[in-house]
């Protein structure tokens, strides 16, 4: 199946710094990628939809200036958490669908655990 | 509002038995429903998809049913094994489409020897 790679898998940063997370589709082109966030014992919450070559679409309640998303190529989307604070500590997961997929089953990356001190 | 509910209590079963997990949804009329497996600290892995016009779908030891009248999907694992222990998530497409999925909170399954 399709492989999605995320990097880094774990990151610890100081409060106020920015952190970039990369999401790559390794063996297919992903015109659309999705970024989710998951807090402990909770479900995945969709943050934004990342479209190649255009601005990301953010879900209600997600600050677009805080969570910068760039989808510069068909195989790479990045999420930058700017001026991170402890409450941003979470598990961030990207996903992508295969072009032409009828029902859009998602292929997920391994996730990136962010800890803000 | 649209809501997906899964049993938040962990399900413990004995190896070899059939595990049955439930997913209920309200204020939805999804065209399809998906099931994923998630291991601790990992991203979810797609398992099965069932469409609204399908009553049942099978894949090896997995079986999914979809009752649009009850607004419920059941996920079965037959001949369960300790390796099946994980959290299982159901998901439906958000209204408006675009392949945006909303997930249930998941049910943790533990298969004991």
Distance (Å) from the alpha carbon of B25 to chain A's nearest alpha carbon: 15
Answer whether residue B100 shows pLDDT above 90: no
- DSSP β-bridge partners for residue A33: A50, A96
pLDDT, average across residues A9-18: 97
pLDDT tens for each residue of A36-60: 999 988 899 999 999 888 889 999 9
- DSSP β-bridge partners for residue A94: A35
Answer whether residue A92 shows pLDDT above 70: yes
Question: Distance between CA A45 and CA B91 in Å, rounded?
Answer: 11
Q: Is there a contact between B31 and A103 if contact means CB atoms under 8 Å apart?
A: yes
Tell me which DSSP letter residue A60 carries. Answer: T
Q: pLDDT: is A100 or B74 the higher one?
A: B74
In the predicted model, what is the mean pLDDT of chain B? Answer: 92
Answer whether residue A102 shows pLDDT above 60: no
Q: Which of residues 35-54 of A touch B (CB under 8 A)?
A: 41-44, 46, 49
Q: Which of residues 91-110 of A touch B (CB under 8 A)?
A: 91, 93, 95, 97, 101, 103-110
B6: confidence class by pLDDT, cuts 50, 70, 90 = very high
**Cα–chain-centroid distance for residue A107?**
12
| Cβ atoms < 10 Å from Cβ of A78 | 19
Answer whether residue A1 shows pLDDT above 80: no
Question: Distance between CA B59 and CA B106 in Å, rounded?
Answer: 20
Question: Distance between CA A93 and CA A108 in Å, rounded?
Answer: 7
Answer whether residue A17 shows pLDDT above 60: yes
Evaluate whether A36 touches A94 at the Cβ level (below 8 Å). yes
Confidence (pLDDT) at A100: 63
């Amino acid at each position: 199946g399709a492989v999605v790679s995320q990097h880094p898998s774990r990151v610890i940063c100081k409060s106020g710094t920015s952190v970039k997370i990369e999401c790559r589709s390794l063996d297919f082109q992903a015109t659309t990628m999705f970024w989710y966030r998951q807090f402990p014992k909770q479900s995945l919450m969709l943050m934004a939809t990342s479209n190649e070559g255009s601005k990301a679409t953010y879900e209600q309640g997600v600050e677009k200036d805080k969570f910068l998303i760039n989808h510069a190529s068909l195989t790479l989307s990045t999420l930058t958490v700017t001026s991170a604070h402890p409450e941003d500590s979470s598990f961030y997961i990207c996903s992508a669908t295969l072009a032409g997929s009828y029902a859009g089953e998602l292929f997920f990356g391994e996730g990136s655990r962010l800890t803000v001190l | 509002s649209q809501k997906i509910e899964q049993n938040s209590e962990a399900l413990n079963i004995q190896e070899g038995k059939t595990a049955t997990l439930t997913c209920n949804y309200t204020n939805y009329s999804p065209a399809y429903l998906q099931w994923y497996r998630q291991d601790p600290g990992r991203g979810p892995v797609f398992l099965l998809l069932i469409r609204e016009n399908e009553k049942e779908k099978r894949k090896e030891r997995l079986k999914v049913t979809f009752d649009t009248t009850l607004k419920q999907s059941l996920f079965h694992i037959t001949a369960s094994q300790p390796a099946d222990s994980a959290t299982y998530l159901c998901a439906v497409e958000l209204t408006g489409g675009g392949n945006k999925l909303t997930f249930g909170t998941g049910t943790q399954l533990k298969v004991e020897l």
